[in-house]
Amino acid sequence: MRYFLGLFYLIPLISHALEVNITADMPSLDVLHAGKEITLQRNQNPDNKIADDYAKTSRACPPFCIQPMHLAEGVETVGELEVLAYLDKSSWGDKDILVIDSRTPDWLAKGTIPASINIPWTVFNLKNGANTLEITDIMTQQFGVKQVDDLLDFTEAKTLVLYCNGPWCGQSAISIKTLLSFGYPAHKIKWYRGGMQAWESFGFNTVKTKGK
């Protein structure tokens, strides 16, 4: 079932009888993930609880420190409805948007957001020896950036929506800060700070996949 999706809400084409909707006007959303149509919806069991991996309240800081609400100047922090809007657009043909899971393959095996792709934060971690040429290749081959001689042209750069495990996880933050250091336009980067912890807390379904 398809829904027309604005930036902040969905308008259903056909009503769908669910007890637990996403919003009053949005029961579910169909997206494409790896060529397969998947229905995004919340868990219908009123007794469902968040998975143990995301139920912990205390992790050693560092490295698992609370992230700021505003990560960097010009980078917009978004919530679930905005993420759904970007997923809807990207999975049904908008080539100018990518939703990126920044986590490593061991976490992806536990579940990822349908219609997102995986580019691990380790690829962008310059402090731990990330390859600048590989980063440039990712930007030019996947993000719509063009390279002219030694310069990067971001005129047609895609809008990127990055996330990781949650407000205590700095993985997507590292990816974003590295992209900014390469000159990626801040207004073309969106940050889902809530990440998988928030996604799971709302009872959204996930898909298990192998990361890169």
**pLDDT tens by residue, 35-58:** 999 999 999 999 999 989 899 999
User: Token digits for 201?
Assistant: 């807390």
In the prediction, which pLDDT does 1 show? 46
Measuring CA to CA, how many Å separate 174 from each of 3, 24, 44, 66?
34, 36, 35, 14
- Indicate whether 108 belongs to any domain: yes
Residue type, 40: L
Q: How confident is the model at residue 199 (pLDDT cuts 50, 70, 90)?
A: very high
User: Token digits for 48?
Assistant: 């469902």
- On the question of pLDDT at 5 being above 90, the answer is no
Query: How many Å apart are CA 138 and CA 176, to the nearest integer?
Result: 13
In the prediction, which pLDDT does 212 show? 62
- Indicate whether 208 belongs to any domain: no
Range of the domain at 164: 3-201
Exposed / middle / buried, residue 32 (Cβ in 10 Å: 0-12, 13-18, 19+): middle
List the single range of 15-19, 77-81, 156-160, 168-172 with lowest mean pLDDT: 15-19
- Indicate whether 130 belongs to any domain: yes
- Indicate whether 196 belongs to any domain: yes
In the prediction, which pLDDT does 210 show? 74
Candidates 171, 55, 50; CA nearest to 104 is 171
CATH number of the structural domain spanning residue 182: 3.40.250.10
CA torsion angle 160 161 162 163 (round to 10): -170
- Indicate whether 136 belongs to any domain: yes
- Indicate whether 209 belongs to any domain: no
- Indicate whether 187 belongs to any domain: yes
In the prediction, which pLDDT does 17 show? 85
- Indicate whether 211 belongs to any domain: no
Buried b (16+ CB within 10 A) or exposed e, 190-203: bbbbbbbbbbbbeb
Q: Hey, how many other C-beta atoms are within 10 angstroms of the C-beta on 205? A: 16
Number of structural domains the chain divides into: 1
Q: Hey, how many other C-beta atoms are within 10 angstroms of the C-beta on 21? A: 16
